[in-house]
Copies of this chain bind each other. A is one copy, B any other.
């Protein structure tokens, strides 16, 4: 296929169209000539994980062109054999005529193993919040029927008992919509009404009045709006019971793995596109969560959304471009309580929506939710908190201060930039050990499915195994040559064979390259440097840390011992570590049910001091020092005994 020539201007102006037929799913889309196959798939509603947002650098969007005319840019991410079989990168290949495309199994997005979804996760939250104080207060009132001597307006007649019940009605607002429904609503159930008061920051808004007999019980929706995956909980507001949960990929994934790629995409295609993708995902999940319950979306009148700053900006349609430009300024940190209708969420249009506040561009509401849930902000004990999701955010603090930072860990732990890296989807290797003699791996995969790649926890296992078994040196270089039966060369690089192609039913072996190792070392170095700098900033060191909390989906199957061996986590007493699951959804759940927790979230966000690492020289020093396994300063990892002789460059 080779490098394509650009279209002569005349041709482009004709705006020819091509039909792209896609298997599986047998979808057909008509697109302008020159559209990439990735865009065509997106248009057909097929979600492909395109980590790098179509830059041609991640190699995830592999497709097979079965027939038809395309132009492809050259890529080193496909083998010659693959190219002969018709494999192309979807983002680098443009339709120049009608095309038949096959999307291979491994390219399609699979069900993600989202943390916070199990019965255990939801059960442990139930009962956590007491008393329950929703945003939407529903008050059933019996009004005095009007007479000639008592002819105050319907609205004043409603306000009268509210006032008598101790509500501050002087600051209460009434929407025009309510005024329009009011006359009939008060009369339909013989002057028995249910008033829905949305409690906002300093006042309340009367958002609905309905005949008392018609008012359903309230449902709440807690949303963990992750860059990669989105989790929703449907909650009975009366008792806080989690009725159902649903999770799925954030559809924005086709615009790139990380927040920077999403912002770039929003700048190119408009923020509305990304907004729609997030809304569609949330609304589809809400639909799934409602399915089978005797409830409608219109019963949801409380919503809390917890996401990082970029995610919340995109969801609300706020301009995200200044987030990625120095000095990194979000439009809004503390959001007013809004209504579902103005945002477009599948819920009652008048539903109150609380968005978790985010203190900075790269530390958002999901981290505030995590701090809220884990509760260390109330404890004297100095705590280190880390959420390794698509970003790596850390918090250091206790009941006296909270200091936070984001380390540009990159998406390596979620599979980004790692040749066989993948998210914790079905078939991802999540645990692995190497035979000390043959280096033959023994592994287990998510859902026990045939191996398709290796996810974060698997990579950490592998890194520590390779280090302990002397496969790599502390510098991350392989110590065996290509003559070793488990070693190979890929693109002039040494690589360890994790599984042979024939066993995978593929033409290619599943390998782990020196570049992959380098990527992981950079990621873990960024995280560890982050810990170090935060501690230094307040004149402390690791010995003073009383507790280390790990949250986020990635931590679920993390072997802490192995994460310490590779130098990702500090070498603390093992009993100081605790894994607290999806703290973003847990914090959202708490804020959904309690005004105090909503206030607490605002207070946490305001208390947090954000440290920007992008131009921090101390961070750069520590980052460099940490690019070694486990670290250039061995004293920091006294329990890690690296027994191989060759310590690499730093030896």
Contact = CB atoms under 8 A, between A and B. Distances in A.
Interface of A: 146-148, 150-157, 170-171, 173-174, 176, 179-180, 182-184, 187, 200-203, 316-319, 321-322, 326-336, 338, 342-343, 360-361, 610, 612, 614-615
Contacts of A316: 176, 179-180
Contacts of A335: 179
B615 A148 contact: yes
Nearest to A614: B148
A271 B553 CA distance: 54
B336 A146 contact: no
Given A148-B614, A153-B334, 19 more contacts: A146-B327, A146-B329, A147-B327, A148-B326, A153-B329, A154-B329, A155-B334, A156-B333, A156-B334, A171-B202, A173-B200, A173-B336, A179-B318, A180-B317, A180-B319, A182-B318, A182-B319, A183-B318, A183-B322
8 contacts: A153-B331, A154-B329, A156-B333, A174-B332, A174-B336, A179-B318, A183-B318, A183-B331
Given A173-B200, A336-B173, A318 B180 contact: yes
| Residue among A174, A201, A332 with max Cβ neighbours from chain B (10 Å) | A332
Contacts of A360: 151
B201 A171 contact: yes
A331 B154 contact: yes
Contact of A151 (B321, B328, B331, B334): B328
Contacts of A361: 151
Nearest to A151: B327
Given A176-B343, A327-B146, A343-B176, A333 B152 contact: yes
A373 to B, nearest CB: 24
Given A203-B203, A361-B151, A332 B182 contact: yes
A377 B429 CA distance: 83
B153 A332 contact: yes
A180 B343 CA distance: 12
Contacts of A170: 201-202
A183 B319 contact: yes
Nearest to A155: B332
| Residue among A146, A153, A180, A319 with max Cβ neighbours from chain B (10 Å) | A153
Contacts of A203: 171, 202-203
A329 B200 CA distance: 30
A155 B202 CA distance: 18
A329 B179 CA distance: 13
B202 A151 contact: no
A586 B14 CA distance: 63
Contacts of A152: 329, 333
B328 A176 contact: no
A579 B479 CA distance: 105
A342 B180 CA distance: 12
Given A154-B329, A202-B170, A615-B148, A176 B334 contact: no
A209 to B, nearest CB: 11
Nearest to A174: B336
Contact of A176 (B151, B182, B338): B338
A227 to B, nearest CB: 20
B151 A610 contact: yes
A151 B611 CA distance: 10
A316 B179 CA distance: 9
A187 B151 CA distance: 53
A613 to B, nearest CB: 11
Contacts of A147: 327
B615 A333 contact: no
Contact of A319 (B148, B184, B328): B184
Contacts of A155: 331-334
A330 B154 contact: yes
A337 B275 CA distance: 31
Contacts of A200: 173
Contacts of A153: 329-334
Contacts of A179: 316, 318, 331-332, 335
A322 B176 CA distance: 18
A52 to B, nearest CB: 26
A311 to B, nearest CB: 15
Contacts of A156: 333-334
The 3 closest A-B pairs by CB, nearest first: A183-B319, A153-B333, A171-B202
A202 B202 CA distance: 10
Contact of A182 (B146, B150, B331): B331
A362 to B, nearest CB: 10
A48 B361 CA distance: 62
Nearest to A152: B333
A587 to B, nearest CB: 20
A338 B146 CA distance: 27
A180 B314 CA distance: 10
A306 to B, nearest CB: 18
Contacts of A180: 316-319
